[in-house]
Amino acid sequence: MFAKVKQLIEEIEAASPKTKDELEQFRIQYLGSKNVIKPLFGEIKNVPNEQKKEYGQFVNQAKETAERKFAELQEALEAAAGDADADLLDLTRPGEPLELGSRHPIATTLNRIVSIFQRMGFTVAEGPDIEDDWHNFTAMNTPEDHPARDMQDTFYLQNSTEMLLRTHTSPVQARVMTSQQPPIRIIAPGRVYRNETISARSHAQFHQVEGLYVDEGVSFADMKQTLMYFAQEMFGTPKIRLRPSYFPFTEPSAEMDVWIGMDNEKNYRLSKGTGWLEILGCGMVDPKVLENCGIDPEKYSGFAFGMGIERQAMRLYDIHDIRLFFENDVRFLKQFSAVI
Ligand code: PHE
């Protein structure tokens, strides 16, 4: 009996199925429901009592050998199949084309503006979209009864008279001035919100870039020179006009127009027949604002400005409807794939 089992184990060890079918034959023969090992267990009744235990273990060994061998053979066959696939790899095949996306026109315009001011030594500062009343209004010298504080113009957070969506990027001025002393030279790009009816020319959300320069002896002439340089770089002309204006946080205040001319219909329309395009609001930082933020107005002075991005992007790319910026229609965005 023992010799029979021994022969079987040798047979199993020597087996070498080459294909899947042959492996399946192996499985049926040694591990299937009618396998050849099973009857050997039955033979135990013909084995002398004192050898029964040893015989049982030996047959078990045959069964384990078959199981191990099967696992090994299966693995070897699968590996071989993998190698066969590898032979099909064609390294000369062209790769999948990588489709490039495009930058949003607001981002490109913003990047241009930021890089112009960076060349003049301004660094980028940021503040939160959800602001508190103090940074957005109080610190910026905007009186309690100012119409901008009205619910009609400002989005307040639900059940709050304190937290709001910032209506301009000017609160970043307060955030910077309360956390550092002059010299300060920053620009702050960001999204702002106003409770306005959405149309082709106005939106409830848009983007601004704020600028702030505070140091000893900063003058109105410094501001004008800075803005002239900006106009030259952005619009290709230093021809600007400062019109007297009013903002609670600057004194004196002005609005700046850039000369775009009227030599084509587009510029005529954009400038409403004047040749001038309004770009930004600016002025000397009101001493009260410096004081509110812990900066000595006797020692320091500064200028600030704030400009909308959308209008500049509209002029730059000849876009006539502000809503297009926020719809993310791929057919619109794809047109800017060549713009960096
Ligand atoms: N915050 C003003 C606005 O939103 C712009 C501005 C900024 C004006 C800084 C003067 C100084 O219209």
The CATH number of whichever domain residue 332 belongs to comes to 3.30.930.10
The residue whose CA has the least distance to atom 5 of ligand 1 is 306
Domain's final residue, options 40, 61, 88: 88
Residue 100 forms part of a structural domain: no
pLDDT surpasses 70 at 192: yes
Q: 237 and 138 in one domain?
A: yes
Does ligand 1 have an atom closer than 6 angstroms to the CB of 247? yes
Whether the CB-CB separation of 117 and 230 falls below 8 Å is answered with yes
Q: 277 and 140 in one domain?
A: yes
Residue 78 forms part of a structural domain: yes
Bridging pattern class, strands 205-215 and 301-308: antiparallel
pLDDT in tens, 288-329: 999 999 999 999 999 999 999 998 998 888 888 889 999 989
pLDDT surpasses 80 at 87: no
Residue 326 forms part of a structural domain: yes
Q: 22 and 142 in one domain?
A: no
Whether the CB-CB separation of 326 and 203 falls below 8 Å is answered with yes
**What mean pLDDT is predicted for residues 253-276?**
90
Chain mean pLDDT for the chain: 90
pLDDT in tens, 12-37: 888 888 888 888 898 898 988 888 88
Q: 114 and 142 in one domain?
A: yes
Does ligand 1 have an atom closer than 6 angstroms to the CB of 173? no
Domain's final residue, options 88, 123, 138: 88
Candidate from 60-64, 184-188, 208-212 with smallest mean pLDDT: 60-64
Domain's final residue, options 88, 118, 148: 88
pLDDT surpasses 80 at 88: no
Joined together, the tokens standing for residue 9 give 């184990």
pLDDT in tens, 131-187: 999 999 999 999 888 877 776 688 999 888 889 999 999 999 999 999 999 999 999
Domains held by the chain: number:
2
Exposure letters 9-37 (e unless 16+ CB within 10 A, then b): beebeebebeeeeebeebbebbeeeeebb
Whether the CB-CB separation of 171 and 127 falls below 8 Å is answered with yes
Distance 320 CA to ligand 1 centre (A): 24
Pocket test for ligand 1, best of 153, 154, 166, 168 (most atoms within 8 A of CB): 168
Q: 317 and 183 in one domain?
A: yes
Alpha carbons 293 and 83: distance in angstroms, whole number: 72
Residue 192 makes CB contacts below 8 A (sequence gap 6+) with 165, 166, 167, 168, 169, 205, 206, 207, 208
Q: 223 and 76 in one domain?
A: no
Q: 21 and 141 in one domain?
A: no
pLDDT of residue 281: 97
pLDDT of residue 86: 67
pLDDT of residue 91: 83
pLDDT surpasses 70 at 85: no
Please tell me which residue, 196 or 308, carries the higher pLDDT value.
Answer: 308
Joined together, the tokens standing for residue 260 give 């775009």
Q: Chain centroid to CA 24: how far?
A: 54
Does ligand 1 have an atom closer than 6 angstroms to the CB of 304? yes
Residue 124 forms part of a structural domain: yes
Residue 258 forms part of a structural domain: yes
**What mean pLDDT is predicted for residues 79-103?**
79
Task: Rounding to the nearest 10 degrees, give the CA dihedral for residues 248, 254, 260, 266.
Answer: 30
- Full residue range of the structural domain in which residue 19 is found: 2-88
The residue whose CA has the least distance to atom 2 of ligand 1 is 306
Joined together, the tokens standing for residue 94 give 């062209």
Residue 97 forms part of a structural domain: no
Instruction: Count the neighbouring beta carbons within 10 Å of the beta carbon of residue 212.
Output: 24
pLDDT of residue 233: 95
Q: 248 and 161 in one domain?
A: yes
Distance 103 CA to ligand 1 centre (A): 27
pLDDT of residue 84: 66
Please tell me which residue, 59 or 284, carries the higher pLDDT value.
Answer: 284
CB-count exposure of residue 192 (10 Å: 0-12, 13-18, 19+): buried
Residue 95 forms part of a structural domain: no
Distance 31 CA to ligand 1 centre (A): 85
pLDDT surpasses 90 at 45: no
pLDDT of residue 144: 84
Whether the CB-CB separation of 248 and 229 falls below 8 Å is answered with no
Cis amide leading into 252 (omega within 30): yes
The residue whose CA has the least distance to atom 6 of ligand 1 is 306
Pocket test for ligand 1, best of 167, 169, 170 (most atoms within 8 A of CB): 170
Q: 35 and 134 in one domain?
A: no
